[in-house]
Amino acid sequence: MQFDAIVVGSGITGGWAAKELTQAGLKVLMIERGREIVHGEYENELKDPWQMPLRGAGDADLFAREYSVQMLNRQFNEYTQGHFVNDKDNPYSTAPGSKFNWLRSYQLGGRSLTWGRQSYRWSDYDFSANKRDGNGTDWPIRYADLAPWYDKVEEFIGVSGAAEGLPQLPDGRFQPAMALNVVEQHARKAIAEKFGRCMTVGRVANMTQAKPDEGRSECQNRSICARGCSFGAYFSTQSSTLPAAKATGNLTVLTDAIVEAVDYDAKTNRVTGVRYVNTKDGTRGSATTRMVFLNAGAFNSVHLLLNSRSAAMPNGLANGSGALGTQIMDHASTLSTIALFPQFSDRTSFGNRPTGVVVARYRNMDTMDGVGHTRGYSYQGGALQSNWGAGKREAGIGEALKTRLRSPGMWRMVLVAFADCVPRDSNRLTLDPVKTDRFGIPQLQIQFAFGKEEQAALAQAKADAAEMMVAAGGNVIMGSDQPGTGGMAIHEMGGARMGHDPKASVLNKWSQAHDVPNLFVTDGAQMASSACQNPSLTYMALTARACDAAVKMLREGKI
């Protein structure tokens, strides 16, 4: 099989690469390690809880045996378990003393089916962070380089949100915002008045206006997105980029195939193709190409580069710098506060809005006001009323209990902090020297720990969050300043960072390998810093930008 481009992975960025490259006229092979999932045929999407064997909660014993990491994901349950990997079949290792929960979805569409859909632009506070405080290496791009690509991505995927005019959280091409509920409206006002901070509804890739030409409906406010959405109301590969790519007639999709290595020809200094394992029968296959896009997910793209070591590149493909695998990150996140709002007990809402609120970053912008840290944090959360589940935690039985649970319960608001993660060489990916998977591919080994900067940020975030809730009239009942285990933000990134210097970074400003001109890595692996925003929108914008550059280079005969 000979292609103009091979895209490894079919998730959030793989779908974008396939779309952009096929629309430019290239013949593209997209390879996905997991099974095919067809849009509109989501197995459990429309089932009522009484139609599920364990009512949607699922088999806890099975989860403990085979999904011991994935079950920690808030989106994971009996309905969605088929959209997450089986941990037993897909092992990874951690370095001594490290803990990392690697949350994964191996299937056509990847994590685009299960993502949180929060879509935020990064700002120049983020792209200049490394240069300003000296951690990591400087980004070779700034906001202005990416702004038009953010425009393009937002318009295509459909992002609803409110324009707020904040330099640290730039406005985008938004569809009309979803509404704040009554408690959030109140909190927004109080927080703005008392602190000058902005709480706004989560900018989310769930549409409030249909795109009938693309067969996509507006959001139905079910908030069961991770089951798959046959309305096509949230952005996924299946709902959005895949149909666009297929419509060109230039796309070939291969599922159930793990790419184990990218082939490199030292004579031409080009990658020439990929080798893969068919997961159904263990047979091997290969395909050749004029260029390769790695979109396997940050850690898997790095894994693939490490595993593509050769006589010419013994430390891994495109690793002349030695930076490959280093400076991985994940946001340090914790539940900073929970507060009760009994004064709203005569108000309620209807519908399951599929997003929460965000409190935009306010620390360490033009004034360095972080205590013990030099970067930012922001909060996501929201106000919700308890449901019948509250009855599990309280005394009471009989008719009185039944009557009480018939009404929505107490309003409570939560704020979860996401803190910028400093890039460190000690947080890194390597190939496990001993352990392999069932196909004999070396396992990825993860070495990761948060440091004192993240701890300090979350301590300040906890104190701030409580102050904001109190200012809004909330009754704070608890809060934490301890980061969750690495990986729990599901924003793992870095390992093949972009940079100016080929000796200190893997990729250039076009997401192109410094060492190998026809190799591009456009997923989270390319990130040089983490910011405190959810990163997927930025990955998509970088992918669209890299595809444009790659197509031009190909046409000009440069690669």
Partner 1 sequence: MQDKLQGSWNRREILGAAALLASALGVPAAAASFARIDVDEAPTSRQRALMKVVSQIVIPRTDTPGAGDVGAGDFVILALAHGLENARKPFSDSAPYARFLRADGSFRHVAWIESELDGRAGEDFLASAPDKQLGLVTQLDAEAYAARATESPWKAIKALILTGYYTSEAGASRELRYEPVPGRFDPDLPLTPDFRAVSNDWTAVDFG
- Residue at 272: amino acid letter: T
- Residue at 148: amino acid letter: P
The least distance separating partner 1 from the CB of residue 204, rounded to whole angstroms, comes to 12
Residues in the chain: 559
Q: Which of 1, 64, 312, 477 is in the footprint of partner 1 by CB under 8 A?
A: 64
392 binds partner 1 (CB under 8 A): yes
**For tokens 């790519």, what's the residue?**
245
Q: Which of 97, 212, 314, 398 is in the footprint of partner 1 by CB under 8 A?
A: 398
Per-position DSSP letters for 351-381, written without gaps between them: S--S--EEE---SSSSS---SS-SS-EEEEE
How many Å apart are CA 239 and CA 393, to the nearest integer?
40
How many Å apart are CA 208 and CA 177, to the nearest integer?
7
Stretch in the footprint of partner 1 (CB under 8 A) among 58-66, 122-130, 442-450, 455-463? 58-66
How many Å apart are CA 513 and CA 317, to the nearest integer?
9
The order of strands in the sheet holding 411-419 is 199-201, 357-359, 377-385, 411-419, 332-340, 475-478
The least distance separating partner 1 from the CB of residue 181, rounded to whole angstroms, comes to 4
- Residue at 458: amino acid letter: L
Strand partners of residue 284: 277
Q: Which of 196, 367, 406, 434 is in the footprint of partner 1 by CB under 8 A?
A: 406
Task: Answer yes or no: are the C-beta atoms of 216 and 240 closer than 8 Å.
Answer: yes
Stretch in the footprint of partner 1 (CB under 8 A) among 73-81, 321-329, 365-373, 429-437? 73-81
Q: For 2-41, list the strands marked E by DSSP.
A: 2-8, 28-31
Task: Answer yes or no: are the C-beta atoms of 380 and 298 closer than 8 Å.
Answer: no
- The DSSP output letter for 426 is T
The least distance separating partner 1 from the CB of residue 119, rounded to whole angstroms, comes to 18
160 binds partner 1 (CB under 8 A): no
Closest CA to 31 of 235, 293, 303: 293
Q: Which two tokens stand for residue 477?
A: 């009942």
185 binds partner 1 (CB under 8 A): yes
Strand partners of residue 169: 166
- Under rule CB under 8 A, which residues in 250-309 are in contact with partner 1? none
The least distance separating partner 1 from the CB of residue 88, rounded to whole angstroms, comes to 16
Task: Answer yes or no: are the C-beta atoms of 450 and 99 closer than 8 Å.
Answer: no
**For tokens 């301590």, what's the residue?**
459
315 binds partner 1 (CB under 8 A): no
72 binds partner 1 (CB under 8 A): no
Task: Answer yes or no: are the C-beta atoms of 319 and 515 closer than 8 Å.
Answer: yes
Binding mask 333-372 for partner 1 (x = CB under 8 A): ------------xxxxxxxxx-------------------
216 binds partner 1 (CB under 8 A): no
The least distance separating partner 1 from the CB of residue 189, rounded to whole angstroms, comes to 14
Stretch in the footprint of partner 1 (CB under 8 A) among 86-94, 166-174, 281-289, 406-414? 406-414
The least distance separating partner 1 from the CB of residue 338, rounded to whole angstroms, comes to 9
The least distance separating partner 1 from the CB of residue 273, rounded to whole angstroms, comes to 43
190 binds partner 1 (CB under 8 A): no
How many Å apart are CA 334 and CA 421, to the nearest integer?
13
State which H helix or E strand residue 399 sits in: helix 398-405
174 binds partner 1 (CB under 8 A): no
Of residues 78 and 256, the one with the C-beta less far from partner 1: 78
Per-position DSSP letters for 75-111, written without gaps between them: T-STTTGGGS--TTTS--EE-TT--B------BTTGG
**Total residues interacting with partner 1, rule: CB under 8 A:** 66
73 binds partner 1 (CB under 8 A): no
The least distance separating partner 1 from the CB of residue 492, rounded to whole angstroms, comes to 24
40 binds partner 1 (CB under 8 A): no
Strand partners of residue 216: 211
Binding mask 436-455 for partner 1 (x = CB under 8 A): --------------------
Q: Which of 61, 281, 366, 556 is in the footprint of partner 1 by CB under 8 A?
A: 61
407 binds partner 1 (CB under 8 A): yes
What Cα–Cα distance (Å) separates residue 16 from each residue in 13, 109, 132, 212? 5, 11, 32, 20
- The DSSP output letter for 218 is P
- Under rule CB under 8 A, which residues in 366-385 are in contact with partner 1? 384-385
43 binds partner 1 (CB under 8 A): no
311 binds partner 1 (CB under 8 A): no
Q: Which two tokens stand for residue 296?
A: 């396997």
How many Å apart are CA 503 and CA 322, to the nearest integer?
8
State which H helix or E strand residue 65 sits in: helix 60-66
**Strands 199-201 and 357-359, sheet pairing:** antiparallel
475 binds partner 1 (CB under 8 A): no
Of residues 98 and 345, the one with the C-beta less far from partner 1: 345
212 binds partner 1 (CB under 8 A): no
The least distance separating partner 1 from the CB of residue 344, rounded to whole angstroms, comes to 9
How many Å apart are CA 429 and CA 25, to the nearest integer?
36
Q: Which of 55, 88, 189, 284 is in the footprint of partner 1 by CB under 8 A?
A: 55
The least distance separating partner 1 from the CB of residue 412, rounded to whole angstroms, comes to 6
395 binds partner 1 (CB under 8 A): yes
Stretch in the footprint of partner 1 (CB under 8 A) among 44-52, 145-153, 270-278, 446-454? 44-52
- Cα–Cα–Cα angle for 453, 457, 458, nearest 5°? 120
Q: Which of 166, 210, 365, 401 is in the footprint of partner 1 by CB under 8 A?
A: 401
Q: Which of 25, 40, 49, 322 is in the footprint of partner 1 by CB under 8 A?
A: 49
Q: Phi, psi at residue 177, to the nearest 5°?
A: -70, 150
412 binds partner 1 (CB under 8 A): yes
Q: Which of 1, 38, 54, 312 is in the footprint of partner 1 by CB under 8 A?
A: 54
Q: Which of 223, 268, 283, 436 is in the footprint of partner 1 by CB under 8 A?
A: 223
User: What is the binding site for partner 1 (CB under 8 A)?
Assistant: 46, 48-57, 59-62, 64, 74, 77-79, 178-182, 184-185, 220-224, 345-353, 384-399, 401-402, 405-409, 412, 414
